[in-house]
Amino acid sequence: MNGRDVFEYAPLRVVPRVERGEFINAGVLVYCRAKSFVAARTHLDESRLKALAPDADVAGVRAALRAVEGVCAGGDPAGQAARDDAGRRFRWLIAPRSTVVQPGPVHTGLTLDPSAEVERLLTLLVR
pLDDT (0 to 100) of residue 49? 97
Give me the amino acid identity at 95.
Answer: A
Give the total number of structural domains in the chain. 1
Averaged pLDDT for residues 5-11: 98
CA–CA distance, 127 with 117 (Å, rounded to integer)? 14
Q: What is the SS3 assignment for 101?
A: strand
What percent of the chain is helix, strand and coil (3-state, nearest 5)? 45, 25, 30
Q: Between residues 2 and 13, which one has the greater pLDDT? A: 13
Identify whether the C-beta of residue 49 lies closer than 8 Å to the C-beta of residue 22.
no
Owning domain of residue 38: 5-125
| DSSP 8-state code for residue 127 | -
pLDDT surpassing 70 at residue 1: no
Q: What is the band of 32 on the pLDDT scale with cuts at 50, 70, 90?
A: very high
- Burial class, 109, CB count within 10 angstroms (exposed 0-12 / middle 13-18 / buried 19+): middle
> In the predicted model, is pLDDT for residue 75 greater than 80?
no
Average pLDDT, the chain: 92
Bigger pLDDT: 91 vs 1: 91
pTM, entire model: 0.91
Identify the pLDDT of residue 21: 85
Short-list 64, 65, 45, CA closest to 53: 45
- Would the pLDDT of 2 be above 90? no
